Amino acid sequence: MSSNELFEIVRILPWAQKLSQALVAQGIEHRFPKPGVASSNLAVGTNSVRSLINVRSAMQDYNFLKSGQTTTHFRLGRLLAALPFLLTFVALGCDSASSSDPDETVFEPIRLHEEWQTAEPAEVGIDPVMLATATQAAAEIRRLKSLVVIKDGKLVYESYYKGAQKDELFDVRSVTKSVVSALAGIALAEGSIPSLDMPIGLVFSRFFEVFPAGVENVTVRHLLTMSGGWQYDEWGGTSYSDWIRSGEPEVWALSQPMINTPGTTFTYNSSAVHLLGVLIEEQVGQSLEEYAASKLFGKLGISQALWEQLPNGYPNGGAGLALRARDLAKIGQLYLQLGKSGTIQVLPESWVTASTSIQTPSSLPYGFLWWLDNSNSSPVFYANGYGGQIIYVVPEQNLVVVTTTNFSQVNFDNEGESALFASVWNLITRKIVPSVR
């Protein structure tokens, strides 16, 4: 850890303590760990990987908050979750955090274009008995197809069920959205997308003789945050199937009634994210598949991907991607490593940070096409597809979990898709995550 980083840690402390006191005074201390109370996963000397992530995440969050870009509970919570470690760090002195203990390894982003290295659970701080219990529970989920667990950048557990194979490409539904978000971040960094406030009409006006009223106010940012303003009901209605069957997916999406001012209301809308994929393709001058292969997948060693094609020749950017489970884990690890594969910055770090912070107008736990779970002191983010297709990332535990399922005709089951999702979610959050010491 550099002297500049040490200086920053010391500078954060009084600011974070004052912030904590202000939050307590407002009666919301129950949402964060109490300052000064160290937990086992934050104490100095338990795990250098986790400790360094906590410190550096806290420093990033401090600078992000100080800049005035956000005041979300997620980012405040992550900063305060690291506070006990910061206090302990300063109390024990610099030598404690830079211990020469041979059992401690300073975290370096792994090279994701290489095959996964493996490790036994106990070698990376996972309770083998608890993990075994979790994997037994996994085998009992009738529609589960794959489970992959990555800890400290190593493959700890991998299993496939009901005839699924390691090299199978799994249709991951809305996990596609999180991949499209990554491509948007790359296109923005390269200048192909000039700004998140770019009006989408610059690309889509050619689809119409008369452009639909209100669409001229929709921007790239609105597509990334599900706040375009269109009438659309995917969770309780038939909008998704109506869109897919329309024969003109882009025109259909743009022609829906505008019932909210863009940027004011969250409405989950796969057709709007498909528009983002089309926009990326038009701006970069390559097909989305080619752009993903050259700018993202290729750099992660992902050689196999399948995109669902829609009638006008564009891939379904809302829910049309299929990948191997191991490769889905690489996407999660890329975000865990703040956009790096080894020393190569595949995604801008600032994009990863923004994507995994609350961006919605209603403070719903949603970033740039990534979901957030800030219900405890170890905030996580995850890509979430219909029926339990999940990339689940826990930065403080240096943990990535991937699940895929067979969702075909799931609603003909007695309990339907919601029960399948709940069983997978409980497997991850109540059995696998607690197995990490």
Spatial separation of the C-alpha atoms in residues 406 and 389, rounded to whole Å: 9
Question: What per-residue confidence (pLDDT) applies to 17?
Answer: 55
pLDDT over 80 at 164, yes or no: yes
> Structure tokens of 35?
């300052």
> Which residues are within 8 A (CB) of 243 and not within 5 positions of it... i.e. 6 or more apart?
249, 252, 253, 270, 271
pLDDT of residue 244: 97
Over residues 357-416, the pLDDT tens digits come to 999 988 789 999 999 998 776 789 999 999 999 999 999 999 999 999 999 999 988 779
Higher pLDDT, 98 or 163: 163
- Nearby residues of 30 by Cβ (< 8 Å), 6 or more positions away: none
The tokens 């949603």 sit on which residue? 366
Q: Could you read off the pLDDT of 34-43 as tens digits, one per residue?
A: 333 333 333 3
Q: Name the average pLDDT for the chain.
A: 84
pLDDT digits (tens, 9 = 90+) for 245-301: 999 999 999 999 999 999 999 999 999 999 999 999 999 999 999 999 999 999 999
Give pLDDT, residue 25. Answer: 53
Residue of higher predicted confidence among 429 and 21:
429
User: Using an 8 Å Cβ cutoff, are 423 and 141 in contact?
Assistant: yes
Strand partners for 393: 381, 400
CA 231 to CA 390: how far, in whole Å?
27
Q: Which residues 6+ apart lie within 8 Å of 34 measured at CB?
A: none
Task: List, in order, residues 6 or more apart from 45 with CB less than 8 Å away.
Answer: 96, 99, 101, 104
Across the range 86-95, mean pLDDT stands at 47
pLDDT of residue 374: 81
> Residue 415: its pLDDT value, please?
78
Q: Which fold has domain 174-362?
A: Beta-lactamase (3.40.710)
**What 3-state DSSP class applies to 71?**
coil
What are the residue boundaries of the structural domains of the chain, listed by start? Answer: 3-97, 116-170+386-437, 174-362
* Pairing mode of beta strands 306-307, 340-341: unpaired
* pLDDT for the residue 13: 54
pLDDT tens-place string over residues 179-225: 999 999 999 999 999 999 999 999 999 888 888 889 999 999 999 99
- Total-model pTM: 0.79
